[in-house]
Amino acid sequence: MSEDVRMTLDAVRTLARTVLLGSGLSQAHAEAVAETMVAGERDGCASHGIYRLLVAANSIAKGVVAVDADPVVSEPAPALVRVDGGGGFAQLAFERGRVRLEEKAHGYGIAALALTNVVHFAALWPEVEALAERGLVALAVTPSHAWVAPAGGTVPVFGTNPIAFGWPRPGDHPFVFDFATSAVARGEIELHRRAGRPVPDDWGYDADGKPTTDAAAVLNGAMRTFGGHKGSALAAMVELLAGPLIGDMTSRESLDADAARGGSPIGGELIVAIDPAGFLGDAVADHLARAETMFAAIEGQGARLPSQRRYAARARSLAEGVVIPPALYRDIMALVPGE
Amino acid sequence: MSEDVRMTLDAVRTLARTVLLGSGLSQAHAEAVAETMVAGERDGCASHGIYRLLVAANSIAKGVVAVDADPVVSEPAPALVRVDGGGGFAQLAFERGRVRLEEKAHGYGIAALALTNVVHFAALWPEVEALAERGLVALAVTPSHAWVAPAGGTVPVFGTNPIAFGWPRPGDHPFVFDFATSAVARGEIELHRRAGRPVPDDWGYDADGKPTTDAAAVLNGAMRTFGGHKGSALAAMVELLAGPLIGDMTSRESLDADAARGGSPIGGELIVAIDPAGFLGDAVADHLARAETMFAAIEGQGARLPSQRRYAARARSLAEGVVIPPALYRDIMALVPGE
């Protein structure tokens, strides 16, 4: 097969579930994980689409993931929710804790949800978008594996440590951003390596601490943070908030725990949710309208809002389906049981 | 006078209070504001030291500040505190709300403090440092005036919109960062303008949207965000969290309200505080120790922790006092009543 494969989103969902179930995941996990891959593919995020089936299957094959973990919800303080994921993928743990987080945000004005002991390999935007669609302001962070050097160093300490934020926009998709505090997402470097393309020389260092354009060397060496010492400070914040603060691993500890199996990061995630009605009472609509004025000032000068491309891709995908590169399709089909 | 002036921190405090009282501030405000200037000078942050006396005096002279405002504390939701600053400087409003924020963080696990209707011209690190010294994890954000263009544009929408974070370190100064989401702090550009020095051409645009090295042109045009679209996304988040979310102004609204008087930004600030004991119970010490392992991995490769220079300057200043440039000292002495 040498041509792009066009698929409906339903077909992507079915394929994703089939591969995930075939690799041993329980039904509940397979459905939760498949949804985030469908969302990535739908929104034109190739590095978080069904490409991630290869990543998930690898983590499962390496024994990194508890395939039938049953997440356990607890409430360690009035405005805090914890979900112990039992070593399973994060998606189901988030789903199990989401409603309690929403209730607590409404009840107390602000609340936080910690996912612990979960395997993480998906983007955070589906989570903050889901919360913002329900009217909440949401901030989510998670460490990963120690792949990223602090500003001023060349030895990995941080993960790619994304920060995601969601803001409700009545009648429109939420304002959502989700970016790695590394110079780029690791998935981007992996895609460069798969394609045999060089990377810019400011993405990372080789194992000797020298800048390099060799994607594989960066993957084996250290990535850089974005934005110099500011991005590095944010990466440290992510480590602290979704590591020691919630009793879970730092990116270094997660990589050590992986013991060179090459699995996805195991650890924690912190999600903070704020109810706009907490501070605003019945004036929420008035003040959300003032946010819209700011968005208009950004778009009015030709600058883009974050997620604008993603929402545009979503509209196209819902109408026309998505296109999968042939090599990726072949790799995924090799994982389908009986193929 | 053409030589640097060496002063003890007590002398800086006395001078700051004298100037602030002389400019009409009430005793409570003068003391609160003076402390943040002493802290800036002490920690080697020239742009947030007693240089800011000129800024404060200007805002007061222009009628932007309510000089004897009495901040009013309320609790709009169980885990939320609001302080209406009544148009006065932010420092006293923060002090009035701090204890309730701490109590709520301990009681609910997470809590937020909104300062509204305050004039802001100080750094945020004194606030997150104070909370972290009391064992809390703290995040603070505030918009300013619309001086900063979004990535992809050249027209100001955002303020310099700092993000500050504090993390407790038992037996040591807290881990603290505080940075503008603009490419640099506006105070830095002002210091360049005062010194007649050019700025790098990636700090901002002139009023025609062209990159420039003229500090005055950037001050009249638009500053850039740090870190491209990621910094721009964070700047938008700061606007939303400490503007519409708490019922206060965006940076554009604040600049419009200033009506070309050239005063400091008026608006809001959001501070989130999390009690580590909320998620960790009696295991706080164990997990804070794991954070120390991460800090050691950063410092062990020769990279700096944020605030490390500031703490080093603090140790020197406490021992030897601080040095004030002669031109600045002359400008400040001109504000002392009866001089």
**Chain A hits for B276, Cβ within 8 Å:** 244-245
A150–B244 C-beta distance less than 8 A: no
Distance of alpha carbon B250 from alpha carbon A109, whole angstroms = 21
Q: What is the mean pLDDT of chain B?
A: 95
From B134's Cα to the closest Cα of chain A, the distance in A is: 15
Helix (H, G, I), strand (E, B) or coil at A312: helix
Do residue B293 and residue B325 come from a single domain? Answer: no
From B1's Cα to the closest Cα of chain A, the distance in A is: 38
Does the ipTM surpass 0.85? yes
What CATH number did the domain enclosing B335 receive?
1.10.1530.10
Return the residue of A nearest to B306 by Cα: A233
Do residue B153 and residue B263 come from a single domain? Answer: yes
Do residue A235 and residue A273 come from a single domain? Answer: yes
From B193's Cα to the closest Cα of chain A, the distance in A is: 24
In a domain, A212, yes or no: no
What values do phi and psi take at A139, rounded to 5?
Answer: -130, 130
According to DSSP, the residues that pair with A139 across neighbouring strands are A165, A272
A82–B114 C-beta distance less than 8 A: no
Do residue A134 and residue A279 come from a single domain? Answer: yes
In a domain, B289, yes or no: yes
* Minimum-distance CB partner of B153 among A109, A232, A298: A298
Return the residue of B nearest to A307 by Cα: B233
| Interface mutation target, options B290, B299, B304, B305, chain A, most CBs of A under 10 Å | B290
Distance of alpha carbon B91 from alpha carbon B125, whole angstroms = 12
pLDDT band at B258 (very low <50, low <70, confident <90, very high): confident
- The one catalytic residue in B31, B41, B127, B188 is B188
In a domain, B189, yes or no: no
Average pLDDT over residues B221-234: 98
B301–A153 C-beta distance less than 8 A: yes
> Residue A120 has what DSSP assignment?
-
**Chain A hits for B124, Cβ within 8 Å:** none
Return the residue of B nearest to A146 by Cα: B294
Using the predicted structure, report yes or no on whether residue B206 has a pLDDT greater than 70.
yes
> Residue A70 has what DSSP assignment?
-
A175–B294 C-beta distance less than 8 A: no
Do residue A133 and residue A99 come from a single domain? Answer: yes
Residue B188 annotated in active site: yes
B229–A226 C-beta distance less than 8 A: no
The predicted-structure confidence for B170-181, as pLDDT tens digits, reads as follows: 999 999 999 999
**Chain B hits for A281, Cβ within 8 Å:** 76
CA A38 to chain centre: 13
Helical packing angle, A284-299 and B251-258, nearest 10°: 90
What values do phi and psi take at B250, rounded to 5?
Answer: -75, 170
- The pLDDT of residue B339: 67
B228–A291 C-beta distance less than 8 A: no
Rounded to 5°, angle at Cα B43 from B42 and B46: 85
A243–B291 C-beta distance less than 8 A: yes
- The pLDDT of residue A259: 84
Of A29-33, A137-141, B191-195, B247-251, the least confident: B191-195
The predicted-structure confidence for B127-155, as pLDDT tens digits, reads as follows: 999 999 999 999 999 999 999 999 999 99
In a domain, B35, yes or no: yes
Burial of A260 (0-12, 13-18, 19+ CB in 10 A): exposed
The predicted-structure confidence for B65-79, as pLDDT tens digits, reads as follows: 999 999 999 999 999
Do residue A111 and residue A23 come from a single domain? Answer: no
Other C-beta atoms lying within 10 Å of the C-beta of residue A223: 25
**Chain A hits for B283, Cβ within 8 Å:** 247
* Minimum-distance CB partner of B294 among A163, A228, A239: A239
- The pLDDT of residue A57: 92
Do residue A259 and residue A155 come from a single domain? Answer: yes
**Chain B hits for A79, Cβ within 8 Å:** 78-79, 108-111, 278
Do residue A124 and residue A99 come from a single domain? Answer: yes
What CATH number did the domain enclosing B261 receive?
3.30.1370.60
Distance of alpha carbon A135 from alpha carbon A106, whole angstroms = 10
* Minimum-distance CB partner of B245 among A149, A243, A274: A274
Distance of alpha carbon B167 from alpha carbon B183, whole angstroms = 24
Distance of alpha carbon A294 from alpha carbon B337, whole angstroms = 43
In a domain, A201, yes or no: no
From B25's Cα to the closest Cα of chain A, the distance in A is: 29
In a domain, B205, yes or no: no
- The one catalytic residue in A29, A48, A120, A145 is A48
**Chain A hits for B139, Cβ within 8 Å:** 237
- The one catalytic residue in A31, A41, A102, A188 is A188
A301–B230 C-beta distance less than 8 A: no
Do residue A243 and residue A132 come from a single domain? Answer: yes
| Interface mutation target, options A160, A203, A230, chain B, most CBs of B under 10 Å | A230
Nearest to A104 by CA among A128, A82, A72: A82
Burial of B40 (0-12, 13-18, 19+ CB in 10 A): buried
For chain A, how many helices (H) and strands (E)? 13, 11
- The pLDDT of residue A180: 94
Nearest to A93 by CA among A36, A24, A12, A162: A36
| Interface mutation target, options B230, B275, B299, B304, chain A, most CBs of A under 10 Å | B230
Tokens of A79: 């405005």
Do residue A235 and residue A335 come from a single domain? Answer: no
Do residue A137 and residue A9 come from a single domain? Answer: no
* Binned average pLDDT, 10 residues per bin, chain A of 339 residues: 87 97 97 97 91 92 94 98 97 98 98 96 93 98 96 97 97 96 90 93 96 97 97 98 97 89 88 98 97 98 96 98 95 88
| Interface mutation target, options A245, A271, A287, chain B, most CBs of B under 10 Å | A245
Do residue A145 and residue A243 come from a single domain? Answer: yes
Unique residue bearing structure tokens 């503007």 = B243
CA B222 to chain centre: 20
Tokens of B53: 């006396």
- The pLDDT of residue A219: 96
A179–B137 C-beta distance less than 8 A: no
Tokens of A271: 């999600």
From A192's Cα to the closest Cα of chain B, the distance in A is: 21
According to DSSP, the residues that pair with B120 across neighbouring strands are none
Average pLDDT over residues B182-199: 91
In a domain, A203, yes or no: no
Average pLDDT over residues B286-309: 97
B247–A287 C-beta distance less than 8 A: yes
Residue A48 annotated in active site: yes
Question: Strands A322-324 and A5-7, how do they pair?
Answer: antiparallel
**Chain B hits for A240, Cβ within 8 Å:** 137, 167, 175, 291, 294
Number of domains in chain A: 2
Residue A146's domain spans which residues? 70-182+225-306
In a domain, A190, yes or no: no
Distance of alpha carbon B56 from alpha carbon B44, whole angstroms = 19
Distance of alpha carbon A150 from alpha carbon B298, whole angstroms = 7
